[in-house]
Amino acid sequence: MPTFFSYPDYELQQKLKKTADAIVAPGKGILAVDEANEAIGKLLASVGLDNNENNRRRYRQLLFTTDAVSNNLILLLLFCL
């Protein structure tokens, strides 16, 4: 079966390359915060907290509001319903 593919235009290729380079830059990383409630529950239990909506929200707020988080993160992966 033939496959039809055309490369994006040069400008888009350059934008994609710039984005990819930023993601893999030294000292930068990706933070996946798309854990299921059960996974976060295990993390919370490990520090003696109940797995409830308030504690899950506070955990995520801590991740997003930590000082200088943007110095080390280039991409956040979120789970949305």
Longest dimension (CA), the chain: 57
Give pLDDT, residue 79. Answer: 66
Out of 25-29, 58-62, 73-77, give the one with best mean pLDDT. Answer: 58-62
Mean of the per-residue pLDDT values of the chain? 86
Question: Is pLDDT at 52 greater than 80 in this prediction?
Answer: yes
Question: Is pLDDT at 81 greater than 80 in this prediction?
Answer: no
Question: Is pLDDT at 48 greater than 70 in this prediction?
Answer: yes
Per DSSP, the three-state class of 9 is: coil
Cα Rg of the chain (Å, integer): 18
Give pTM, 2 decimals.
0.60
